[in-house]
A and B are shown apart, each in its own frame.
Chain A
Amino acid sequence: MSIVPLIKRDYISKLAEQGKRVDGRRFDEYRKIEIETNVVNKAEGSARVKIGNTQVLTGIKMAVGEPYSDSPESGVLTTAAELIPLASPDFEAGPPRENAIELARVVDRGVRESEVVELDKLCLEPGEKVWVVFIDIHILDYDGNLFDAASLASLAALYTTTVPAARFELGEDYPLSLKEPPISCTSVKFDNFVVMDPSLDEEEIADARLTVATDKNGDIRAMQKGLNGSFTKEEIQKVIKASLDTGREIRKQLSESTGK
């Protein structure tokens, strides 16, 4: 660790001992979320999500392609994330590295496992032709908590997606059919403090990270722990409780801004 993060760590920890965070939030307080949909005309669906200063844009494109041979009657979903150098002085151009791949896979899993997109309805001719859904995540401004921003932007974009059937001469365009979304909430731990929705500074000094995706019924749909620190059982239970509460708020906001 270079010298700057060490100084930062010291400062953030000292504040935390007094129950404070650098930006004045409570430990379990989320930053302000803004969701804007249909921001890209060329995309089938799109959304820009801001969590504090973090900004993520997801665009959905659809095309007709071949199904995988092991699931001839379902559509294909692919997720890609680009940590473009526009978003941070530390991002470099080039093919996706570890971080971008992990991010895309976590979002992909959230969408796929919760079956938000009903892939079996995207079959055109079994074994021959299906719809392919491309989720492309573009990070525009990186100030911490990309996981939540990326999955929220992807969900919002999916909710506003129109299947471009007319362009492929397959009848009229229709809205993509979707089910209830799981909402991801990420917390990080440094020293013995657990804070929700880490800012970049908090993320940089964190020992451990935990993302919890919860659904409308209050069930857990996905979890991902990251970094080389650890959590106690009590901490995890606390994080889950906080994620459920915050998830409920975010779900409300998502449905208000997408009209679904």
Chain B
Amino acid sequence: MELDIKLIDDNGKRLDGRSAEELRKIKIEAGVLHRADGSCYLEWGGNKVLAAVYGPREAIPRHTQNPLRAIVNARYNMAAFSVEDRKRPGPDRRSREISKVISEALEKVVLTEHFPRSAIDVNIEVLDAEAGTRCAGLTAAGVALADAGIPMKDIPVACAAGKIAGQVVIDLGKEEDNFGDADLPVAISPRTNEILLLQMDGHLTVEEFNKALDLAIKGCHAASEIQKKAILDKYQSIEGAE
């Protein structure tokens, strides 16, 4: 499809008025669900995501148990009403893949060896979708894990970068994702800059890739600050806490 919309205008502004290195607005709240051991509500631009953590608890079915460590089961799910054309409820190939890469990313930071034979279930529900849901979901999952008191080396965080109208930019919006040239979601452990998740589709030169990766990592650090603030906000608001 030929695009008849200009993704970047003459002043270097993008469709939603952002500059190339500007993130969409991120809002995070920790501990929003009563039943969950830890939870998080996150808005990232037009994305609205809830994450809930249950566990560590006995891994069922038992053959999934690992005698040496816990398994982390992330389940990414989109609400039927979260997209333009209603999505059929339940997992599809896309959400299974996203669930898998998120699980693997989280397993890297969680101290799984503390909980042999257990499962830590991380449920990510996308309520409203507008490009970048896996990054939003993983970022919410990081806060929910911390809220659940799961021991971790770090709070994982994600952000995407991409290429639109020949230019490398951070955090693609909806049209940018549909009509852009490349999308590169990245998750990191912000303390060490280890990369926990990396996917790419589209077309980038090596130089562009390096630039995009740097931008995405920069975005991760910005989002990480908001994550930490959300957790602090929750525990500071508890009576008697300093």
Partner-B contacts on A (CB < 8 A) = 39-44, 46, 53, 55, 57, 59-61, 63, 80, 82, 84-89, 93-95, 134, 136, 138, 140-143, 167
Contact = CB atoms under 8 A, between A and B. Distances in A.
Given A93-B91, A141-B34, A141-B35, A136 B50 contact: no
Given A60-B81, A80-B80, A136-B89, A87 B35 contact: yes
B128 A86 contact: no
A233 B72 CA distance: 51
Given A55-B33, A143-B35, A85 B82 contact: no
A59 B34 contact: no
A134 B81 contact: yes
A86 B124 CA distance: 7
B227 interface: no
B127 A138 contact: yes
A40 B78 CA distance: 12
A60 B84 CA distance: 11
A53 B81 contact: no
A53 B32 CA distance: 10
B46 interface: yes
A87 B77 CA distance: 13
A162 to B, nearest CB: 13
Given A41-B128, A84-B123, A86-B52, A59 B35 contact: no
- Closest 8 CB pairs between A and B? A59-B81, A53-B34, A86-B123, A43-B81, A61-B86, A136-B80, A86-B52, A40-B128
**Majority SS at the chain B contact face:** loop
B86 A134 contact: yes
Nearest to A45: B81
Contacts of B85: 61, 63
A80 B89 CA distance: 9
B83 interface: yes
A48 B90 CA distance: 21
Contacts of B134: none
B129 interface: yes
Contacts of B33: 55, 86-87, 140-141
B54 interface: yes
Interface in B129-154: 129-130
B35 A40 contact: no
Given A40-B128, A86-B50, A134 B90 contact: no
A40 B81 contact: yes
B51 to A, nearest CB: 8
B35 A57 contact: no
A55 B127 CA distance: 14
Contact of B82 (A40, A95, A134, A142): A40
Contacts of A84: 77, 123, 125
27 contacts: A39-B127, A40-B81, A41-B46, A41-B128, A41-B130, A43-B128, A57-B79, A59-B80, A59-B81, A61-B80, A61-B81, A82-B80, A84-B125, A85-B121, A86-B33, A86-B36, A86-B50, A86-B52, A86-B123, A87-B33, A88-B35, A134-B81, A134-B86, A136-B79, A140-B50, A141-B36, A142-B35
A133 to B, nearest CB: 10
Nearest to B82: A42
Nearest to B80: A136
The listed residue with most B CB atoms (<10 A of its CB), out of A39, A55, A89, is A89
A60 B81 CA distance: 6
A27 B182 CA distance: 59
B54 A89 contact: yes
Given A55-B33, A59-B79, A86-B36, 16 more contacts: A40-B82, A41-B46, A42-B81, A42-B128, A53-B34, A53-B35, A57-B79, A61-B80, A63-B86, A84-B125, A85-B75, A86-B50, A87-B35, A89-B35, A134-B80, A141-B33
